[in-house]
């Protein structure tokens, strides 16, 4: 597995990481703990060194899962987790008050069984707490040795600049795929300018770009896609044109659609490290195979030209969640 550095930092990660949220949150009932620990170990055996979780996934159980799975590999892997979203009465609430951040870091350190967090993201920007105040708390935690690097998730460019001016950011995490290219407009140019790495989540369009989801697909109420407009039958049907394009390219490269979708993300910039998630070994192996697919400059240009002619149907978030991004 090749390695990449996130921006101009010294944080080196495997070019493809593993998003662990879906193992216990967001995509139906949690999977068997022992099976997921085994899958994480299989990932390490194949060169994955970058693992992503968050306090709110579960909540807490996803961090506990990683803490147990990664305990034998201290110092050999990079763990990213997040603060700033709390569950209250079954609803997600933004809270990045200084005292809450300090409570969160202590809980995450304990659950992850580590003395320091490699990469600590603010999960969503809290409009009620100035980002400069958040950055100040993070700076203190770094001085105390509890954090090595910090980042923001789904933050807007202005907020990123303000945060970075207080204490340099190592990475920004946001959705990015052939299906959601908005980061190319403002975010990626800003990150390049500032020397900040980019960690795309949902690089497979929440599974859509694998080509295995059609208009007859149904999602349980415990599966986040159940409320995502993009996954309504009419939008699934309309967006098959994108899947057909990816399948055509995959056939020419002797690859799968998922591998082409990931190879495309990897080809954009050398400081991008996507974190596709999975619960299955065969999917893990398939995803990691994308690192071996090379796309020439000409192939990339042709593909981007074709993508620009496709209009994606359906929003990526319901309104409640959409209101919290890009702040």
Residues 32-71 pLDDT 10s: 999 999 999 999 999 999 999 999 999 999 999 999 999 9
**Which pairing describes strands 85-88 and 91-94: parallel, antiparallel, or unpaired?**
antiparallel
pLDDT given for residue 256 in this prediction:
98
Q: In this structure, is residue 143 part of a structural domain? A: yes
Largest CA distance in the chain: 54
> Do 280 and 35 touch, CB atoms closer than 8 A?
no
The residue among 129, 118, 47, 48 whose CA lies nearest residue 81 is: 118
Q: In this structure, is residue 310 part of a structural domain? A: no
Kindly give the interhelix angle for 240-253 and 257-268, rounded to the nearest 10 degrees.
Answer: 90
Q: In this structure, is residue 211 part of a structural domain? A: no
How remote is the C-alpha of 305 from its chain's centroid? 25
CA atoms within 13 A of residue 225's CA, in its CB half-sphere: 19
pLDDT given for residue 156 in this prediction:
98
Structure tokens at 322: 């959409």
> Do 65 and 34 touch, CB atoms closer than 8 A?
no
Q: In this structure, is residue 209 part of a structural domain? A: no
Q: pLDDT (tens digit, 9 = 90+) per residue, 21-31?
A: 999 999 999 99
pLDDT given for residue 73 in this prediction:
98
pLDDT lower than 70: segments of the chain: none
Burial classification of residue 88, based on how many CB atoms lie within 10 Å of its CB (0-12 exposed, 13-18 middle, 19 or more buried): exposed
Q: Can you tell me the distance from the alpha carbon of 214 to that of 87, in angstroms, rounded to the nearest whole number?
A: 33
The domain tally of the chain equals: 1
Q: Which domain holds residue 166?
A: 3-204+259-293
Burial classification of residue 294, based on how many CB atoms lie within 10 Å of its CB (0-12 exposed, 13-18 middle, 19 or more buried): exposed
Dihedral (C-alpha) 6, 11, 16, 18: value to the nearest 10 degrees?
Answer: -120
Q: How high is the mean pLDDT of the chain?
A: 97
The residue among 192, 193, 198 whose CA lies nearest residue 170 is: 198
Active site residue 120: no
Q: Which positions ≥6 away from 218 have C-beta within 8 Å?
A: none
Asked if the bond preceding 59 is cis, omega within 30° of 0, the reply is yes
Q: In this structure, is residue 236 part of a structural domain? A: no
pLDDT given for residue 143 in this prediction:
98
Q: In this structure, is residue 87 part of a structural domain? A: yes
Q: In this structure, is residue 114 part of a structural domain? A: yes
pLDDT given for residue 137 in this prediction:
98
Q: What strands lie across the sheet with 78-83, from one edge to the other?
A: 18-19, 50-52, 78-83, 117-122, 147-153, 171-175, 197-201
pLDDT given for residue 37 in this prediction:
98
- Exactly one of 27, 57, 121, 176 is catalytic; which is it? 57
CATH of the domain at 97: 3.20.20.100
> Do 201 and 19 touch, CB atoms closer than 8 A?
yes
pTM as predicted:
0.97
Q: In this structure, is residue 245 part of a structural domain? A: no
């Amino acid at each position: 597995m090749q390695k990449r550095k996130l921006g101009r930092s010294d944080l080196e990660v495997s070019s493809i990481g593993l998003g662990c949220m879906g193992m216990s949150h967001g995509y139906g009932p949690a999977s068997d703990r022992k099976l997921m620990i085994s899958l994480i170990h299989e990932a390490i055996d194949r060169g994955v060194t970058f693992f992503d979780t968050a306090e709110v996934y579960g909540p807490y159980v996803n961090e506990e899962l990683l803490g147990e799975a990664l305990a034998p590999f201290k110092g050999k892997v990079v763990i990213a987790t997040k603060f700033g979203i709390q569950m209250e009465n079954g609803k997600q609430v933004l809270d990045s008050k200084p005292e809450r951040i300090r409570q969160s870091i202590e809980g995450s350190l304990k659950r992850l069984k580590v003395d320091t967090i490699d990469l600590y993201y603010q999960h969503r920007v809290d409009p009620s707490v100035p980002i400069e105040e958040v950055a100040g708390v993070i700076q203190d935690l770094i001085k105390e040795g509890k954090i090595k690097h910090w980042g923001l998730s789904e933050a807007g460019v202005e907020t990123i600049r303000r945060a970075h001016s207080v204490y340099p950011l190592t990475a920004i995490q946001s959705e990015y795929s052939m299906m959601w290219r908005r980061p190319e407009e403002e975010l990626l140019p800003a990150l390049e300018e500032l020397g900040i790495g980019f960690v795309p989540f949902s690089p497979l369009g929440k599974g859509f770009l694998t080509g295995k989801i059609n208009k007859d697909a149904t999602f349980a109420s415990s599966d986040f896609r159940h409320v995502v407009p993009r996954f309504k039958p009419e939008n699934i049907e309309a967006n098959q044109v994108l899947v057909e394009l990816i399948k055509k390219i995959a056939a020419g490269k002797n690859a799968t659609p998922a591998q082409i979708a990931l190879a495309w993300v990897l080809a954009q910039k050398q400081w991008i490290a996507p974190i596709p998630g999975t619960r299955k070994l065969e999917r893990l192996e398939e995803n990691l195979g994308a690192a071996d697919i090379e796309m020439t400059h000409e192939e990339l240009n042709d593909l981007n030209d074709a993508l620009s002619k496709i209009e994606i149907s359906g929003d990526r978030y319901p309104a409640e969640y959409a209101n919290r991004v890009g702040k």
